[in-house]
């Protein structure tokens, strides 16, 4: 008996066939597209750029960045409200840009997850620290960040103790 899908409209085989047809159509249109050379150039630029920029940014972070950043933001808002708004807009613009580039690098070559972590780290939004703590406390991510720091002869990053 063929199982019906979640919506009762088609079997699993039918859905896979349609997905395969859709992907084939997309790939054939991309392969014949005049955008292909530009996508290739963008892919190479993001890959090389991420190999240079991401480690540089990780090495520039203070070892206690993930512990003390929140306190600095609160202090800046209290002491310099106009400067805080300008910094907020600049940081969030740059962070959003890095987040988008990181998402692109999940598909194209590059260090997508690390780029997204740096983008999140730069941005200021409610709940940011919980999101970052959840991501960076992943053993692989933590090891990757500290591996880059060791290669650059920097102290390993200190992370907040978080109970899940």
pLDDT for res 40: 76
For residue 8, pLDDT beyond 70: no
| pTM (predicted TM-score) | 0.53
Residue pLDDT, tens place only, 59-97 = 998 888 877 876 777 788 888 889 888 988 998 999 999
pLDDT at 5: 46
* Predicted confidence (pLDDT) at residue 36 exceeds the cutoff of 80: no
Whole-number Cα distances in Å, 6 to 16, 17, 152: 14, 16, 51
162: confidence class by pLDDT, cuts 50, 70, 90? low
pLDDT above 70 covers what percent of the chain?
A: 88
Q: Where in the chain are the domains?
A: 1-32, 36-151
Cβ-count burial of 107 within 10 angstroms (0-12 exposed, 13-18 middle, 19+ buried)? exposed
pLDDT-derived band at 13 (thresholds 50, 70, 90) equals confident
* Least confident span in 2-11, 70-79, 112-121: 2-11
Distances (CA, A) of 132 to 30, 120, 126, 163: 35, 7, 12, 14
pLDDT digit string (tens) for 132-160? 778 878 889 889 999 999 999 999 988 77
Helix axes 36-60, 112-122, angle to 10 degrees: 60
What is the distance, to the nearest Å, from the Cα of residue 122 to the centroid of all Cα atoms in its chain?
11
Write out the two tokens for 164: 């899940």
């Amino acid at each position: 008996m063929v199982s019906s899908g979640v919506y009762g409209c088609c079997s699993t085989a039918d859905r896979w066939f349609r997905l395969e047809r859709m992907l084939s159509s997309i790939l054939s249109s991309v392969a014949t597209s005049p955008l292909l050379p530009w996508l290739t150039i963008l892919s190479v630029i993001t890959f090389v750029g991420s190999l240079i920029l991401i480690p540089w940014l990780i090495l520039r972070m203070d070892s206690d960045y993930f512990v003390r950043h929140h306190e600095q933001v609160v202090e800046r808002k209290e002491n310099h409200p106009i400067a805080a708004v300008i910094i907020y807009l600049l940081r969030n613009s740059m962070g959003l840009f890095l987040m988008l580039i990181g998402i692109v690098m999940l598909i194209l070559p590059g260090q997508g997850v690390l780029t997204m972590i740096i983008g999140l780290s730069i941005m200021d939004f409610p709940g940011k620290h919980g999101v970052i703590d959840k991501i960076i406390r992943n053993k692989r991510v933590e090891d990757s960040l500290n591996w880059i720091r060791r290669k650059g002869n920097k102290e390993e990053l200190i992370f907040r103790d978080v109970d899940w």
